Structures are given as C-alpha cells and as structure tokens.
Amino acid sequence: LPAAVLLKDTKLMDVKLGQLGSWLAMRDFTPGGILGAIRRGHERYYNKYINVKKGGLGGLSMVLAGYVILSYMWSYSHI
C-alpha cells in the first residue's frame, strides 16, 4: 500500500507505462478536482512566466548594451 501512496504523488512524466492505468484511476475527475488542477496549473504558469522579479542590474545592463549597439549601427551605417 505505500507504493500506491507514492504512485499517487508522482508526476505524469515519472509514471511508467505499466502504471498508467492505476495512476489515472487515482486521479480526481470530479468538477472540483478538475477545477483544482486548472487552478494549480495557472498558478504554476503565472509564477514561472508572469510574476517574475522585474528589473535588476542584469536587465538594465542588457538594455544599455542594446542601446549602445543600436546607436553604433545608426552612427556608422556605412559599415
């Protein structure tokens, strides 16, 4: 029985092909379970791609380097 608990907590990418049927049987396909899965996926996406730390020295230096390269290209267009 401890293997069943471990199987329920494993991610889909870590499930072996032979265990896929029992892993799917452990999923919660009620409307509340599906809504919870969508909510968790949205939170994961939001925290990874939207809610990132803005600014900082790295971003400022990339903007400055881009400006220097662009102004160099505009000033020396004959090259």
Token digits of residue 18: 């032979």
pLDDT of residue 55: 55
Residue 33 scores a pLDDT above 50: yes
What integer best gives the mean pLDDT of the chain?
A: 83
pLDDT of residue 1: 47
Please report which confidence band the pLDDT of residue 50 belongs to, taking 50, 70 and 90 as the band edges: confident
| Average pLDDT over every residue of 1-29 | 80
Alpha carbons 18 and 11: distance in angstroms, whole number: 15
Specify the pTM.
0.51
